[in-house]
Structure 1
Amino acid sequence: MKNIINRLAEDHVLSRDEFRELLTNITDEEQEYLAEKAREVRHQVYGYDVYTRGLIEFTNYCKNDCYYCGIRRSNQNASRYRLTEEDILECCKVGYELGFRTFVLQGGEDGYFTDERLEDMIRSIKRDYSDCAITLSVGERSYDSYKRLFDAGADRYLLRHETANEEHYGKLHPKELSLHNRKQCLIHLKNIGYQVGCGFMVGSPGQTVDNLIDDLEYIKELEPHMVGIGPFIPHKDTPFADQTQGTLEMTLRLLSIIRLMNPRVLLPATTALGTIHPLGREKGILAGANVVMPNLSPTDVRKKYMLYDNKICTGDEAAECRMCLAWRMENKGYHLVVERGDYKI
Structure 2
Amino acid sequence: MTSKLLIQQLYTERQLPRAKMQMLLTDAFNEASVRDELAALARQTAQSVFGAKIYIRGLIEFTNYCRNNCYYCGIRRSNTSAVRYHLSKAQILDCCRQGYGLGFRTFVLQGGEDLSYTDTAMAEIIASIKEDHPECAITLSVGERSYATYKLWKDAGADRYLLRHETASAEHYAQLHPAALTLANRKRCLYDLKALGYQVGTGFMVGSPFQTTADIVGDLAFISELQPQMIGIGPFIPHHATPFKDYTPGTLAQTLTLISVLRLMFPNVLLPATTALGTIVPDGREQGILAGANVVMPNLSPADVRENYLLYDNKLCSGAEAAEAKNDLAVRLQSIGYTIEECRGDYKES
- Partner residue of 2:337? 333
- Match status 1:304 vs 2:312: no
1:137-286 map, 5 Å: 137-286=141-290
CA contact (8 A) 1:101 1:131 kept: yes
2:60 equivalent among 52, 56, 74: 56
Unaligned runs of 5+ in 2: none
Equivalent residue, structure 2, for 1:12: 14
Say yes or no: does 1:99 pair with 2:103.
yes
Cα distance in structure 2, aligned partners of 1:141 and 1:7: 39
Counterparts of 2:320 and 2:222, CA distance in 1: 36
TM-score under structure 1 normalisation? 0.98
CA distance, structure 2, for counterparts of residue 39 and residue 22 of structure 1? 18
Alignment check: 8 A CA contact 2:95 2:302 kept: yes
CA displacement at 1:3 relative to structure 2: 1.0
TM-score after normalising by structure 2: 0.97
Give, as a single letter, the amino acid of the residue that structure 2 aligns with 1:143.
Y
In 2 relative to 1, CA 29–317 (structure 1 residues): closer, same or farther, beyond 3 Å? closer
Number of residue pairs matched by the alignment = 345
Structure 1: gaps spanning 5 or more residues? none
8 Å contact 2:126–2:156 — kept in the other structure? yes
1:144 and 1:166 map into 2 onto residues whose CA distance is 25
Deviation at 1:117, TM superposition (A): 0.6
RMSD between superposed Cα atoms in Å:
1.0
Q: Please state how far the C-alpha of 1:313 moved relative to its aligned partner.
A: 2.5
Matching residue's letter, 1:120: E
Say if 1:319 and 1:110 are closer, same or farther in 2 by CA, change over 3 A. closer
Q: State the AA in 2 paired with 1:54.
A: G
SS class of match (1:312)? coil
**Cα distance in 1 between the residues matched to 2:219 and 2:213:** 10
Quick one: percent identity of the two aligned structures? 61
Rounded Cα–Cα distance in structure 2 between residues aligned with 1:316 and 1:190: 33
| Separation of aligned partners in 1, 2:76 and 2:132 | 33
Distance 1:12 1:321 in 2: 37
Match of 1:51, SS?
A: strand
Change over 3 Å in CA distance of 1:6–1:317 after alignment to 2: closer
Aligned-partner residue type, residue 77 of structure 2: R
CA distance in 2, matches of 1:180, 1:49: 37
Structure 2 letter corresponding to 1:221:
E
Native 8 Å contact 2:235 2:252 kept in 1 = yes
Q: CA deviation at 1:321?
A: 3.2
Paired residue secondary structure (1:236) = coil
